[in-house]
């Protein structure tokens, strides 16, 4: 079973960080570091409720001033096994009247043995 969550996002140009979270209220439990720049937040039911990306301009190779203005959409899948936690995400930017896809594809060890339901995060991009 895949859980699909509608999300909203906010970009902090000064901190060069993006916070993407579920639109429904949730009770935060813990964060899982996928890489130094990618963090997942879980609720009390081990459901993915948020994704944080640090150093966004470096991760995507896009100047800070363009990120908030030109992000069109976000699609992300989080999949776990007993050994791995993976995130595969597509961020689409509209640059020079052209859709430019930027992909995140990262995996880390599931050393905590978390059973996280397969999750799909999606939104037409808009900032809070």
Pairing of strands 118-124, 2-12: parallel
The reported pLDDT for the residue numbered 2 is 52
The reported pLDDT for the residue numbered 112 is 85
One pLDDT digit (tens) per residue for the chain, 128 residues? 555 667 889 999 999 999 999 888 899 999 999 999 999 999 998 888 999 999 999 999 999 999 999 998 999 999 999 999 999 999 999 988 899 999 999 999 998 888 888 888 887 544 44
Interatomic CA distance for residues 72 and 68, integer angstroms: 9
Interatomic CA distance for residues 27 and 38, integer angstroms: 20
Count up the domains in the chain and report the number: 1
3-state SS class at 60? helix
Q: What is the residue range of 20's domain?
A: 2-124
């Amino acid at each position: 079973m895949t859980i699909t969550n509608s999300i909203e996002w906010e970009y902090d140009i000064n901190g060069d960080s993006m916070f993407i979270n579920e639109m429904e209220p949730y009770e935060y439990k813990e964060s899982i570091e996928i890489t130094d720049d990618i963090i997942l937040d879980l609720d009390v039911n081990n459901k993915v409720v948020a994704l944080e990306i640090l150093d966004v301009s470096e991760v995507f190779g896009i100047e800070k001033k363009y990120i908030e203005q030109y992000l069109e959409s976000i699609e992300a899948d989080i999949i776990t096994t007993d050994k791995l936690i993976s995130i595969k995400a597509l961020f689409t930017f509209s640059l020079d009247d052209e859709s430019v896809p930027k992909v995140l594809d990262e995996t880390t060890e599931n050393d905590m043995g978390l059973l996280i339901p397969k999750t799909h995060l999606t939104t037409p991009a808009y900032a809070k």
